[in-house]
Amino acid sequence: MNRSILAIAVASLLPSTYSLAQEVSVDETVVVTANRFEQPLSEAIVSTTVISKQEIEETQAKSLVDVLKRVPGVEVTQSGGRGHSASVFMRGFNSKQVLFLVDGVRINSAAGGISFNHIPVGIVERVEVIKGPGGALYGSDAVAGVINVITSSSESNEGSVVSIGVGSDAQKEANFSTTRIFSNDGVLKLAGGFEETDGYDIKDPETGLDYGYESQNLFASYAHTINDEFVGSVSVRWYDSLTEYDSFGKNYGYSENLSITADVQYNSGKLSSTLRANQQAIENLDYTQAQGKDNAWTKKEIDLTSVQFLNQYEFTETFSVGAGADWRREKLDDDALSYGSPDKLAGESRDTTGLYLSSDLRLGSLQLTGSVRHDKHDSYDEHTTWSVGSRYHLTESHSFRAALGTSFKAPSYSDLTNNEDLEPEEATSREIGYTGEFESFTLDVTAYDNDVDNLIIWYEGSPWYPKNVDAELKGIEITGSFNTWFVHHTLVAEFKDHQDSAGNKLAKRADENYKWLMDASYDDFDLNLTYTYVGERQGNPKEVSDPNNELPSVSLWDASVGYWISPELVVRARVDNLTNEKYQTTLSYNAPERRYFANLTYQF
């Protein structure tokens, strides 16, 4: 009971946009990423995982890395500890083939946007992970899938929440959020926070230096119910981060993102529409201590403007059609520098326009969905992507599904700076799956096969260089869940085969991954235990196999506990790497040893 009170309160305090989609049962999970409008999770044909605010809080996740490493089909690597470069491998694809959204707005930038690892987890309401090609709805980048970080809440309650925490490596954090509801149907929300850690020596061999991280964030939003059909909102999101990293000595990486979003949503019962505009100012700097921030040797200032017009019309209870348009412009500043030299693409801009059409149809036990999208890119001509999917319910508890689709990804500014002849990636993806609910457990099995032309891989060299290669990525995911007394268990097994056309294994992806997630609540206690196993994998991308280029398998345990002192106050503790394993997810970069955290949260 206490846990639920605070979870609802915190959710209501976050910066918000409002949805006017058709209401669903309060007990049913709702997702927005699968078809760009709200729908029950049970009706999503694509493989979808939702991580709730409550789960994020109870496991004491410190970053999206902590959140995503619990997701089936996802493997995470990192060059060090908190704040350092991280990659998400989804079904064998890496982060560059995954589209990252915040409240439906992309943060990916062809010039190098802020890393997902720097998004403050304290503002997250939930995370939706869509596995499988999303190009037919979202355009470029959604080759492996889509990760949508949701900071909005459909409910608002007045109140405030304050949270403070400490941990190993002199880690400190503090967050606040507050909501005020006005008599004119307006809702004002404010939130902010900071975190800081001295870090540790991330390099192997050791350098004798600690590599820390710090970040700050502020949020503000105002939403107004205009009438029974229209809701308008505006939000401002700002955060920055400073990461210390090693490159022939200690270096500093600074990132800043200022994002302003305004939208109007309309719902007439049959028709739902959203008009959304977003403007982002992104700055990325790299410099040495001697140079200082004002004399950074790598400098990228990016303006990112996007407009979305989304529509869905429900002809009947069993048939609906969606249609929409996206326009995006990215511009790299005229003064951009790359390792001290003027960037080859400084001053260039990219315009992309996309139009999509989708449909959903239910015929008794059969559900069908399809979408097609056309993108016009000013540098890479035009791309048409499509997808079809179906789910057949044998009974209410057992169903089979199948999906087929295409996707593409245009090379980034960084890719082209190092190889101007690169071609866009193009992929065809196939998936079949089964979901079953038995008396004592649930089971989900998915098999997939992805063929990719012109996959862009950065190979190890002096310097590293990008190159197009063809590849095939296939595998099987098995997820089961059951309860023993008051403990909920989720077991995940993943078997993958991913290699390029020359037969070389793709780097940093393991052939086998296993996860065991245990979550429990007993009286005033919340308990969580996470076990992950990552098999052997290649260390760095190389065109020729190297027996010395291998990372050994590793088994890890993380644990957290929360105690509710009162309905308003909870104290939590977490231990990462419980058995103090020494391991690496990136060659020459040591992962953190055993680490401790404590947190106190108060609602008033």
What is the per-residue DSSP string for 171-216?
A: EEEEEEEEEEE-TTSEEEEEEEEEEEEEEE--BSS--S--EEEEEE
pLDDT on residue 7:
40
Mean pLDDT check: name the lowest of 27-41, 44-58, 427-441: 27-41
Enumerate residues 6+ apart whose C-beta is below 8 A from 46: 34, 130, 131, 132, 134, 389, 403
* Residue that is written with structure tokens 């205009």 in the block: 226
Q: What is the mean pLDDT of residues 358-371?
A: 95
H/E run at residue 256: strand 250-267
Of 67, 52, 68, residue with least CA distance to 10: 52
pLDDT on residue 378:
78
CATH number of residue 571's parent domain = 2.40.170.20
Per-residue tokens: 341: 């030299």
H/E run at residue 57: helix 53-58
pLDDT tens column, 267-314:
998 999 999 999 999 999 999 989 999 999 999 899 999 999 999 999
What does DSSP assign to residue 8? H
Q: What is the mean pLDDT of residues 4-27?
A: 34
What is the per-residue DSSP string for 103-166?
A: TTEE---TTT---GGGS-GGG-SEEEEEES--HHHH-TTTTSEEEEEE---S----EEEEEEEE
Q: What global pTM score does this model have?
A: 0.90
pLDDT on residue 576:
96
pLDDT band at 150 (very low <50, low <70, confident <90, very high): confident
pLDDT tens column, 419-432:
989 999 999 999 99
The range of the structural domain enclosing residue 355 comes to 2-603
The amino acid occupying position 425 is E
- The answer to whether 136 touches 371, Cβ cutoff 8 Å, is yes
C-alpha to C-alpha distance for 586 and 449, rounded to whole angstroms: 26
Cis peptide bond N-terminal to 72, omega within 30: no
Q: What is the mean pLDDT of residues 1-15?
A: 36
Q: Output the 3-class SS for 61-110.
A: CCCHHHHHCCCCCEEEEECCCCCCCEEEEECCECHHHEEEEECCEECCCC
Q: What is the mean pLDDT of residues 363-374?
A: 95
C-alpha to C-alpha distance for 79 and 171, rounded to whole angstroms: 18
Of 518, 517, 599, residue with least CA distance to 562: 599
Q: What is the mean pLDDT of residues 317-326?
A: 95
Query: What is the percentage of the chain residues whose pLDDT exceeds 70?
Result: 93
Of 375, 371, 408, residue with least CA distance to 386: 371
Q: What is the mean pLDDT of residues 554-582?
A: 96
Q: Write the CA distances from 585 to 36, 122, 253, 546, 552, integer angstroms.
A: 34, 25, 21, 17, 9
Is residue 16 over pLDDT 50?
no
Q: Is 154 exposed, middle or buried (0-12, 13-18, 19+ CB in 10 A)?
A: middle
Per the model's pLDDT, the better-predicted residue between 25 and 443 turns out to be: 443
pLDDT band at 443 (very low <50, low <70, confident <90, very high): very high
C-alpha to C-alpha distance for 190 and 183, rounded to whole angstroms: 18
Per-residue tokens: 518: 């245990």
How many domains does the chain contain in total? 1
pLDDT on residue 15:
32
pLDDT tens column, 205-262:
999 999 999 999 999 999 999 999 999 999 999 999 999 999 888 999 999 999 999 9
Is residue 4 over pLDDT 80?
no
The amino acid occupying position 388 is V
Is residue 109 over pLDDT 80?
no
pLDDT on residue 33:
80
pLDDT on residue 10:
34
Enumerate residues 6+ apart whose C-beta is below 8 A from 203: 246, 588, 589, 590
Q: Write the CA distances from 291 to 85, 282, 286, 288, integer angstroms.
A: 22, 21, 10, 5
pLDDT on residue 111:
58
pLDDT on residue 14:
33
Q: What is the mean pLDDT of residues 558-584?
A: 96
Q: What is the mean pLDDT of the chain?
A: 88
pLDDT tens column, 511-553:
999 999 999 999 999 999 999 999 999 999 988 878 889 999 9
Is residue 84 over pLDDT 50?
yes
- The answer to whether 451 touches 405, Cβ cutoff 8 Å, is no
- Judged by DSSP in three states, 396 sits in coil
Q: Is 277 exposed, middle or buried (0-12, 13-18, 19+ CB in 10 A)?
A: middle
Is residue 108 over pLDDT 70?
no
Q: What is the mean pLDDT of residues 66-71?
A: 91
pLDDT tens column, 162-183:
999 999 999 999 999 898 999 8
Q: Write the CA distances from 406 to 132, 137, 182, 426, 450, integer angstroms.
A: 10, 11, 47, 7, 9
Q: Is 313 exposed, middle or buried (0-12, 13-18, 19+ CB in 10 A)?
A: middle
- The answer to whether 126 touches 119, Cβ cutoff 8 Å, is no
Q: What is the mean pLDDT of residues 29-55?
A: 83
